[in-house]
Each structure stands twice: as structure tokens, then as C-alpha cells.
């Protein structure tokens, strides 16, 4: 997506007034007095400022702008394919899935179905191309044997494998994007 620092700041202004009350109900709430009711320009489009409780509706305008942007469908599609199928999908695979995303107004169920039913999903280049992390192996064994745990063994396992749950070494978790795929199956 081609956005600027100004787009980020303007989006932040459109979202002013929202907060989460962690002590009360842990839900997002809106305080009109804390909202910036002036007009904003995001990705070249104007969000007309609203005041009072109506200011909360600006978030809908931001979502509409982002969903209408031509790079949103390919970006989200490639990210989903990367998590569900292959970290290195072909451009054609991304295009087919992003077409479904765009044509269904971002329907994730339809988009995931497009990923899973695409011929590339079961191609030799994709099947078994990604290795499992230690935690994925552990959870797989538990599922296969219908085992039960109170979680302690899971924590012990992640400690032993140095893949502590909720403590990855970076925002990319334990593997940077593209590094989990076997090198012999990578496409350029």
C-alpha cells in the first residue's frame, strides 16, 4: 500500500476518541469530547469531520477508504496465502485470490475458500513446503491422540524448544516472513 506519514497521522486523527475500558468491560468505547472533528485527508480522499457521538462513524469512512484502495486486496490476499498455504505464492495465485477478496467486498470466508480450493494450494510446490515449528508439532500430537492438558506441559515444551508462547524474539514471531519455507521449494 502506498501511504505516507501524513496518511497515518490523519487516520489517527479520525480514530481519536476511541479507548478501551480495561477495568469495566474491556470493550472499545467512544468519547465525543476527545474526538478531532475537523476534516481529514487519507490516501487522497477526504473524511468529513463529525462532532459529538457521530464522530465514531469516521472509522467507517477510514475502512471504506482502505478497502477501496487498489493494493488492499493483493496485500491481504498475499498475507493470508502466506499463513495458510505458502510464504512464496506465485503472482497468479495472489491475483486469483485478491480478485475474490475484491469481488466479495472483503469477505474473508470466501477469500479463505479461494485460497484452499485453488489448484496451487495442492500443487507440489506448496504441499509440505513449510516445516512445522516445535509448538505446531506439539499441538498436532495432542490433536492426533485427542490428548488433554491443563497447559503446563505446553509451557514446558515451549521452554525446552526455546519457542516460549507469547515471547517471540521479534514482531515476526520466531521466523521472519519467507524464512519458514524450505529453501528447496522457493520460487523467485
Spatial distance between the Cα atoms of 150 and 142, rounded to a whole number of angstroms: 12
Q: Is 170 left (phi over 0), alpha (psi -120 to 50) or beta?
A: beta
Residue 55 is assigned to a structural domain of this protein: yes
Looking at the structure, do residues 139 and 178 belong to the same domain, yes or no?
A: yes
pLDDT for residue 131 is more than 50: yes
Contact assessment for residue 36 and residue 58, using Cβ atoms and an 8 Å cutoff: no
The region of weakest confidence among 56-60, 94-98, 179-183 is 179-183
Indicate if 16 and 53 belong to the same structural domain: yes
Longest pairwise C-alpha distance within the chain: 58
Asked whether residue 32 is assigned to any structural domain, the reply reads: yes
Q: Is 180 exposed, middle or buried (0-12, 13-18, 19+ CB in 10 A)?
A: middle
Are both 40 and 77 inside the same structural domain? no
Residue 66 lies in a domain: no
Query: Across the chain, what does the average pLDDT equal?
Result: 86
Whether the predicted model's global pTM rises above the 0.85 cut: no
Q: What is the mean predicted confidence (pLDDT) over 54-73?
A: 96
7-19 pLDDT, tens digit each: 999 999 999 999 9
How many domains, in total, are found in the chain? 3
Would you state the pLDDT for residue 167? Answer: 77
Are residues 18 and 44 located together in one domain of the fold? yes
Same domain, 13 and 57: yes
Query: Which pLDDT score is estimated for 120?
Result: 93
Going by pLDDT thresholds of 50, 70 and 90, the confidence category of residue 184 is: very low
86 and 115 fall within a common domain: yes
Whether residues 53 and 79 share a domain: the answer is no
The residue among 137 and 28 whose pLDDT is bigger is: 28
The domain in which residue 32 lies consists of 5-61
Residue 158 is assigned to a structural domain of this protein: yes
Amino acid at each position: 500500500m502506498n501511504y505516507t506519514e501524513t496518511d497515518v497521522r490523519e487516520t489517527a486523527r479520525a480514530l481519536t476518541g476511541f479507548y478501551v475500558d480495561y477495568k469495566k468491560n474491556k470493550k472499545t468505547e467512544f468519547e465525543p469530547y476527545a474526538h478531532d472533528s475537523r476534516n481529514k485527508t487519507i490516501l487522497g480522499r477526504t473524511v468529513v469531520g463529525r462532532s459529538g457521538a457521530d464522530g465514531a462513524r469516521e472509522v467507517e469512512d477510514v475502512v471504506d477508504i482502505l478497502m477501496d484502495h487498489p493494493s488492499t486486496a493483493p496485500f491481504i490476499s498475499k498475507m493470508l496465502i502466506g499463513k495458510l498455504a505458502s510464504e512464496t505464492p506465485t503472482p497468479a495465485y495472489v491475483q486469483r485470490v485478491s480478485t475474490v477478496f475484491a469481488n466479495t467486498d472483503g469477505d474473508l470466508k470466501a477469500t479463505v475458500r479461494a485460497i484452499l480450493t485453488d489448484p496451487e494450494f495442492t500443487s507440489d510446490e506448496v504441499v509440505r513446503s513449510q516445516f512445522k515449528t516445535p509448538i505446531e508439532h506439539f499441538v498436532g500430537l495432542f490433536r492426533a491422540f485427542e490428548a488433554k492438558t491443563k497447559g503446563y506441559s505446553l509451557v514446558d515444551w515451549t521452554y525446552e524448544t526455546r519457542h516460549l508462547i507469547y515471547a517471540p524474539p521479534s514482531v515476526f514471531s520466531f521466523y521472519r516472513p519467507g524464512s519458514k519455507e524450505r529453501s528447496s521449494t522457493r520460487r523467485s
